[in-house]
Amino acid sequence: MLTGEGSVRAMDTWLEKDREYLWHHMTPYAASQQPMIVERGEGAWITDAAGQRYLDAMSGLWCVNLGYSNRTLAEAAYRQMVEMPYYPLTQSHKPAIALSEKLNQWLQGSYRIFFSNSGSEANEVAFKLARQYHAQNGESSRWKIISRYRAYHGNTMGALAATGQFQRKYRYEPLAPGFLHVPPPDCYRCPFGKQPGACSLECADVYEQVINWEIPETVAAVIMEPVITGGGIIVPPPDYLQRVRDICNKYGVLLIIDEVICGFGRSGRNFGHHNFGVTPDIVTMAKGITSGYLPLSATAVRADLFDAFRNDETYAHFRHVNTFGGNPAACALAVETLTYMEEHNLVERARVLGDLLKNGLREAVAHPRVGDVRHFGLMAGIELVADKAAKTPASPDFVGAVVAECKKRGVLVSKNGDTVQGYNNVLLLSPPFVVTDEELEHIADTVLESIDAAAKALGKG
């Protein structure tokens, strides 16, 4: 690496090219003009082109669960690339077969696996499969899909329609029709005016109301994450998912569980829904399946549902193809990722780290600028407020200042940006499973220090 003046010149050159050629994700124009250019990663740390190291408390974008530059994973992809780098899954290949078997073991059920590249695509597959499944069972009127406000399910036209974050939809509508939304199970800001422990799960029972209002024979599926993640780590009451499962069973509605973030150990169990004891009809997954090293996603469909696709009538087969979905190198890498997690007991490690993070953030609960702290496995959401008693959401300036103070101290955190107007006030933490106890303590301490520093700098905002 260049140092001193040469390093500065080199950095300026990269920045000029970035500004001329690159379009950044989810970033307003002004902020995109001074990006951090990441050059290397190792374990839970990344290093930028200026040589500054940062502890990544977000695992990239919720995905680098096994940390950066794991040679075991990289070499698995390399071996497959030099042996057989590509073939479409209109036929088959061994890595896809091996991964399908491994996913069934992790899911603890019997599923057929359809591979894509991203969480958005995995959910698109789930929506199409749900509608076609009902049509082939003589219920072609079932086409509506119920989701939740504040939830995120992807950025394609169908997945974005399912998404309940309307700041992400603005200026892109109209989107795909047929998607309905119900209030989230937000115990801190209960949309039904209830207090935690003193409700009747109105947030779950609303599904039955909506299904009946819409006519049950028109509803194909419900989609939900076990915990709303990017919308602010909104954790439901313990019996919520089972109540929704029972309602779906009562009306013949399929239950799609989006495990794109919660899956692969992030919740302290293999999958997030395992914490709630429910069996989904369809499971979508991505991100941690390869620890973010290569693009890959999967849609797992209960084996008995697959029976509806076994006949050879015209239009009975699933007419969906994905050029790169189930890429052999990505599948081989995913098998190695899950094997590595098993051998190093990383699901249990994530659970232990989640408890440590919860303990490390316990002081935040009493902070005057913190309204609520929510945990689910190894992730946390810290809801920042301007007024604790009134639960007034903190201003974007204050939330941004806390994120900036964390970065100044060498820790990268995130927030729920561009979700619901007025409620982009939640700090998000999702560290890699390979973080040490000391590094995790440093993350928690840094967050607390940064909230204090931002409060002193900006006052009430």
Domain boundaries, the chain: 36-69+346-458, 71-343
From residue 362, alpha-carbon distances to 108, 197, 391 in Å are: 34, 21, 19
Q: How far apart are CA 441 and CA 287, in angstroms?
A: 25
- In this predicted model, what pLDDT tens digit does every residue of 305-326 receive, in sequence order? 999 999 889 999 999 999 999 9
Residue 4 has what pLDDT?
54
The answer to whether residues 68 and 41 touch, using CB atoms and an 8 Å cutoff, is yes
The token pair at 138 is: 């003589």
CB neighbourhood size of 304 (10 A): 11
**Which residues of the chain carry a pLDDT beneath 50?**
1-2
Q: Say which DSSP state 43 is in.
A: B
The answer to whether residues 149 and 420 touch, using CB atoms and an 8 Å cutoff, is yes
Q: At what angle do helices 437-458 and 396-408 cross, to 10 degrees?
A: 130
The token pair at 155 is: 């950025």
Residue 2 has what pLDDT?
45
Which is nearest to 283 in space by CA: 417, 111, 460, 141?
A: 111
Which amino acid, 126? A
The token pair at 303 is: 């084996």
Which amino acid, 350? A
Residue 1 has what pLDDT?
43
Q: At what angle do helices 240-251 and 202-214 cross, to 10 degrees?
A: 20
Q: pTM for this structure?
A: 0.96
- In this predicted model, what pLDDT tens digit does every residue of 367-380 receive, in sequence order? 999 999 999 999 99
Q: How far apart are CA 119 and CA 292, in angstroms?
A: 12
* One-character DSSP codes across 208-231: HHHHHHH-GGGEEEEEE-SSB-TT
Give 36-69+346-458's CATH code, choosing from 3.40.190.10, 3.90.1150.10, 3.40.50.620, 3.40.50.300.
3.90.1150.10
**φ/ψ of residue 383, rounded to 5:** -85, 115
Which is nearest to 168 in space by CA: 106, 230, 84, 246?
A: 230
User: Which CATH topology does 71-343 take?
Assistant: Aspartate Aminotransferase; domain 2 (3.40.640)
